[in-house]
A and B are shown apart, each in its own frame.
Chain A
């Protein structure tokens, strides 16, 4: 299978993007688009209020086999636990429209979180797809990492379909003061059910 991964460092992306005037929906190396939402417990969440912390955005649909592929063996939960213990904010976002696969009420979403033993900081039900469209989230899972300065550090797949988890790698590198070595990959999985 063909896999294309751009091993451009963050610096290279920044340089390219300074030269580019394109209207990117969620460009790595630039300010992550701000949004405000109510989480599944009724709490307000605003990305810009989370400045000073790393933030992970995870697009989620509990009925998608690729999401199950991460949750059934406990891989996603372990990653959530590992990084929320390090004060990273983890937002699991479901952009399924009402009537579409994966759409849930807040209560059901909380039950699913409990059932799966998941550790997101917040679950956000984006049933109008506004946050999904803002980030051009295409698949479940589709992962983004935002720096404490609010800059997008990673956009892409959860892993290389093997043992390399790109989100873990990006967070490990960034929190260790390094450039993110793989900042953009092609996400894969079910379509986001807008």
Chain B
């Protein structure tokens, strides 16, 4: 009887939080860490992995025309800092002219965790991530999972690939100006922008750039130019651009984080 009670307790506890992958809403979700046994004062990455079923997608921080951004709420012991999400760059998903900003494959949403300097070395702790997402194929399904990770973990996860997909800041200079009442010319300068096949700007704030408007792109010797259309929903003109430019150089994609004041 006692055993049964304990078993029930364990079962019900595991339904609330899980170290193993959780399936919900056509997605498998898992929590992983780059550091299996972090030391006092150390900083390391943890990642919320979302693996959608084939042909399904989840959404970026600005979902674009449709959809809903994934959210992660963290619970950590006092003193342990967990950063805002660092989002790998998204891709464009065109659904009958409605354009969304999505992840069509597995994505790892990263957060930086910092242990306090006066943390007792070797003492175990737990991180819990409450994750909510929308996954769509033609239909959409809301999914959620409560994921937990107990430190020390069995082994560190390799998050280098996920880190590689984060937009890089400070390596590209961007300027933006109005071409007319609705169109914006965004110019990027960066030494490593040769042989760009495609470039695309993803605005981080919503209602700034119209997702469904095509972005034309030209390349000169030293710069990339993108023509963007401002939001057709928002009557207020934006004053600046803040977002991510993804450039495709013969199959190799890299992303830059940019901000630019909008000049007339």
Contact = CB atoms under 8 A, between A and B. Distances in A.
B18 interface: no
Interface stretch (B40-48, B138-146, B244-252, B256-264): B138-146
A169 B204 CA distance: 27
Contact of B206 (A17, A24, A64, A186): A186
Nearest to B206: A186
B50 to A, nearest CB: 16
30 contacts: A1-B61, A1-B71, A2-B62, A2-B69, A2-B204, A2-B205, A2-B206, A4-B205, A4-B206, A20-B181, A20-B235, A21-B181, A65-B140, A65-B142, A66-B140, A101-B138, A136-B233, A184-B233, A184-B234, A184-B235, A186-B233, A188-B66, A188-B67, A189-B67, A190-B67, A190-B136, A191-B66, A191-B95, A191-B98, A191-B136
A6 B207 contact: yes
Question: Chain A interface secondary structure, helix, strand, loop or mixed?
Answer: loop
Contact of A101 (B68, B139, B237): B139
A192 B136 CA distance: 12
Q: Which secondary structure dominates chain B's binding surface?
A: loop
Interface residues of A, number: 40
Complex A-B, nearest 10 residue pairs according to Cβ-Cβ distance, in ascending order: A191-B66, A194-B96, A186-B206, A190-B140, A138-B65, A13-B235, A191-B98, A191-B95, A22-B182, A139-B66
Interface of A: 1-2, 4, 6, 8, 12-13, 16-17, 20-22, 24-29, 63-66, 69, 100-101, 136, 138-139, 155-156, 183-184, 186, 188-194
A85 B140 CA distance: 33
Contacts of A193: 96, 138
Contacts of B236: 6, 8, 12-13, 16, 184
A63 B139 contact: yes
